[in-house]
Structure 1
Amino acid sequence: MSAQHTGLGALAILSWGTLGTLGALSASLPAYLVLTICFAIAAGLGWMICRKTGRTPAPLLDRRIGLFAALLAAYHITYLSAFHYSAPIPVSLINYLWPACLIVLGNLFFGLQSGAAGYAGACLGFIGVGVLIGNDGLELRSSEAIGYGLAFVAAMLWALYSNLRRREQTDVIASVTTVCFGAALLSATCWMAAGFDWPQMQSSDFLVILALGLGPAGGAFFLWDFGMRRGHAALLSIMGYSAPVLSTVLMLMLGMGAPGWELFVAIGFITLGGIVVHLGGKNS
């Protein structure tokens, strides 16, 4: 367990604090198109690193590579699609239940062993994100139920992906490069099946896609893989609770929602969740 690799995972979480904002800014574009380009950028980054370091990308037809590519594509397609149905801040915040989902699934099925403190921290995280959703709490309006449901499914998909990747023994760069390439192919296939629509795009749209590909929907995958497989996975799961706070603050600064007391109450719950898990880990 390496502090350096835990730090890389933390950088990925910091990058994901921008995912909600960038996802909302790309909501006018077809999700399949956006993700095809983003995954292609990530695969290109990985390929250049492989060339420079003498690595060979993992084989595309490997069954586990295919599974990871499918989960990666499914998560992002589901998440970006949610912005087409609901307001950006609630969608982003529901999706950020993934750290709690990661701990629960990890404890139940993947030997994470964060103990009772992990469950308690996860519960506090659920409460905190629920408060952040707004005055109605977790009560979903029918007009937005699809978007909220997609956001929660996305959270579960990312938790599953992360737990499965944590158990991998292959080289991170070589593996993630091919996973991203496979996800790009899957996204492109879905885009073609949906009509291969290429909308009118402005320079700002290309900048948003580039930022997604270099950061939260591309480059961050490599950092997260290092963190989950060689760092402190349970601690990173709790640090993930900071992502909704970062995301919400950034969205508020850009005028994508109105500030309220919910933000400060949620920060308290989220921070307390991290403290509970940290103290529980020290005492176990």
Structure 2
Amino acid sequence: MSRYRNLALFLVLAAAWGSSFVAISAGLGHFPPVLFAALRYDIAGVVMLAYAIYAVDHWRPVGREEWATVAVGAALLIGAYHVFLFVGQQHTTAAAAAVLVSLSPVLTTGFARVLVPSDALSPVGVAGVCVGLVGVGVVVQPDPSNLFATDAVAKLLVFCAAAAFALGSVLTRRLEADLPIETMEAWSMLGGAALMHVVSLGLREPIEPTAWTDLEAIGALAYLSLVASALGFLLYFDLLERLGAVEINMVSYVAPVFTAIVGWLYLGEVIDAATIAGFALIACGFVLVKRRAISQEVAAVRRWGSS
């Protein structure tokens, strides 16, 4: 029964995070990108902080090490990731953005190996990272005669979002602060939102007053803040404890399926062959990088099934 519960929650999480890319595309028609991202985490951060106060005793960071962890999370996991993602997604499809973001687990492993020289990648692992990057090239399809085409630049910005998230994941783990993940996420969200407000003010982003009364705009903001962020991270915390890091990383490869379906139904987006091929290559890269951990998980599932 526990396996079925975990599977159901896993699919709910994949659906919430996959459809969030569609909500971003919908909301970008009404809000400027950086302000939209900041507003999302104003709301989500308050909700997550309330949950952290309820769920853990250590709900407020103390000491230099813990605040450094929050600062990295705010700057990279929330701030840089969402600025690049929201700005890039103005000019590319939700499905392409979801596929490019699915490279994050592969890049995380690559950054971890670079920053921890004693834990070098095997030749197969290096090949996996390279295969994933080839997948990015297939999705982006850069034109040598026009490298600064709007669509190509937009997709490269989304790739930068995935890289920022991967680097932030590695750096927060390296700091090894004794900080509950709920606390780290809550304060990172609030700090990231504040940073994005500063960026938005610096860019002098305009906002149409009608955005505050438009049902699609408010619905997109509410969905991203409450469902994709607050509920999504609560499900993530629960599944991380039950499944472990390897299995939960697989959500990155199920989410684009939901993005494609919801994007087609709501936005009328059609996925091209290059996006599908790029996704397949990125998924193959993940399997090569995580092959040992995946084989262990498969063995554990088989033992559970035979017991």
Q: TM-score, normalised by structure 2?
A: 0.72
The amino acid across from 2:160 in the alignment is: V
Q: CA deviation at 1:124?
A: 4.3
Q: How does 1:43-54 map to 2 (within 5 A)?
A: 43-53=45-55
Q: Does 1:189 align with 2:198?
A: yes
* Counterpart pick for 1:244 among 256, 263, 268: 256
Pair 1:93 & 2:99 matched: yes
C-alpha displacement at 1:175, in angstroms?
2.0
Structure 1 residue 213: Cα displacement: 0.8
Measure how far apart 1:246 and its partner are.
3.1
The count of corresponding residues between Structure 1 and Structure 2 is 278
The 5 Å alignment of 1:1-284 reads 12-28=13-29, 29-53=31-55, 55-59=57-61, 62-71=67-76, 72-110=78-116, 115-128=122-135, 130-131=137-138, 133=139, 137=141, 139=143, 142-167=149-174, 168=176, 169-195=178-204, 197-199=206-208, 200-201=210-211, 202-224=214-236, 232-262=244-274, 265=277, 269=281, 272-273=284-285, 276=288, 279-281=291-293, 282=295
Identity %: 19
Alpha carbon RMSD of aligned pairs, Å? 3.7
How many angstroms apart in 1 are the aligned matches of 2:187 and 2:21?
25
| AA partner of residue 16 (structure 2) | S
Tell me the distance in 2 between the aligned counterparts of 1:108 and 1:6.
34
Separation of aligned partners in 1, 2:127 and 2:262: 28
Which one-letter code corresponds to 2:24 in the other structure?
G
When Rg is computed on C-alpha atoms for both structures, the one with the higher figure is 2
- Residue by residue over 1:112-153, the C-alpha shift from the partner in whole angstroms, topping out at 9 and shown as x without a partner, is 77755544444444455555x3xx845466232321221111
- The secondary structure found in structure 1 opposite 2:182 is helix
Q: 2 CA distance for matches of 1:223 and 1:99?
A: 18
User: 2: CA distance between counterparts of 1:73 and 1:102?
Assistant: 17
Q: Per-residue displacement from partner, 1:163-222 (whole Å, max 9, x unpaired)?
A: 233444311222221111112222222233333633221021111011111233454345
Alpha-carbon separation, structure 2, partners of 1:114 and 1:10: 31
Distance 2:129 2:269 in 1: 26
Judge conservation of contact 1:125–1:241 (CA < 8 Å) in 2: no
Q: Alpha carbons of 1:253 and 1:270: their partners in 2 closer, same or farther (altered >3 Å)? A: farther
1:129 & 1:248 partners in 2: Cα distance? 17
Distance in 2, matches of 1:65 and 1:159, equals 15
- Do the aligned partners of 2:142 and 2:152 also contact (CA within 8 Å) in 1? no
Corresponding letter in the other structure for 2:74: A
In 1: Cα distance, 2:12 partner to 2:26 partner = 22
Ranges in structure 1 where 5+ consecutive residues have no aligned partner: none
1:1-54: CA deviation from partner (whole Å, max 9, x where unpaired): xx9999978865543212321121122211232222211222222232234336
Cα gap change, 1:53/1:254 in structure 2, threshold over 3 Å: closer, same or farther? closer
Distance 1:238 1:118, change over 3 A: farther
Distance (whole Å) between structure 2 residues aligned to residue 76 and residue 254 of structure 1: 22
